[in-house]
Amino acid sequence: MVKIGIIGGSGLDNPKLLKNAEEIKVNTPYGKPSSDLTCGKIEGVNVAILARHGKDHSIYPSKVNFRANIWALKEYGCTHILAATAVGSLQEEIAPGHLVFPDQFIDFTRKRESTFFDEDDVVHTPMAEPFCPMLRQLYEKSATSLGLAHHSSKTVITIEGPRFSTKAESHMFRSWNADVINMSTVPEVNLAREKKMHYATVAMSTDYDCWREGEESVTWEMILATMQQNADSVINLFLDVIPQIKDHDDVCVS
C-alpha cells in the first residue's frame, strides 16, 4: 500500500488539507527525529509529514538527525518521500521563485552520518540515479499543468552549512556543472535509497547564491521571504501529485 512521507512540507499539515490529522511519536535507534509525524489523508492517500528542521525551525542543517528522520518514516510504513527544500541558484535561467526537480547530486558535506550500514553489514548501495524517475516525471507533469516555472534534470550540490558559500566556492560549484545549492538533500536522499523508499525533491530557488555580479549576497531573511511568497506553489504541486502516485508502477528501488 502506498503511504507518502513529506519532509519539509510546511503548510501541508493545515487541517483543511490533511484529513483526520493526528500527531504520532516514533522512536528510532538513532534518537529522536526532527519532529513528531503529522499523519492523516490527502485525497484518500495516507500521508505523514515531518518537519526537517523542527516545527519551530530550531535545528540547523548539520544537526538534523537524518537517519532518525528516514527511519521514522520507514517505520511508519512510508513507501515514497516527497521532499521540499530551499536552494540557491547557480545558473542564470533558474530565477528566484522557480521550482527545480534534480536528478543528480554532488555531496560536499563533511561530517554527517550518511549510511545505515556502518556496523555489521557491508552494503554498497547503487546511486547512479539517486532520485525516483517516476516522482520526478509526476512533478514535471503537474508543474506544467499548474503553470509553474520549473526546471528538470538538474544537479544539486549539498554543502555542510550553516554558513553560505564564498564567491570562490560558488564559482567552483558552477564549474562543476552544479545547478542549485542547498544544505539538506544529502544524506537524506541516499538514506532513503538504503531503506528502499522512492525519493524525489522539489527545490525552490530563493536566490542566486553569491556568484552573480551586482546581485545582493544571500541572507536567511531573503530565503525566508521568497519561501513564504512561493510556498503555495509547492503545496499545490504536492496536492496534485499525491493522488497520482498510487496509479503508477515504480521500480527504481526494487
Q: DSSP 3-state assignment of 191?
A: helix
Annotated catalytic residue within 36, 179, 207, 240:
207
Region of 126 on the Ramachandran plot (φ > 0 left; ψ -120 to 50 alpha; else beta): beta
Q: Is the peptide bond before 133 cis (omega within 30 degrees of 0)?
A: no
Half-sphere exposure of 172 (CA within 13 A, CB side): 9
* Active-site residue, 207 included: yes
Q: DSSP 3-state assignment of 24?
A: strand
* Active-site residue, 209 included: yes
Residue type, 4: I
Annotated catalytic residue within 13, 36, 179, 209:
209
Cell readout for 104 is 543528480
Question: DSSP letter at 53?
Answer: T
Active site residues: 207, 209
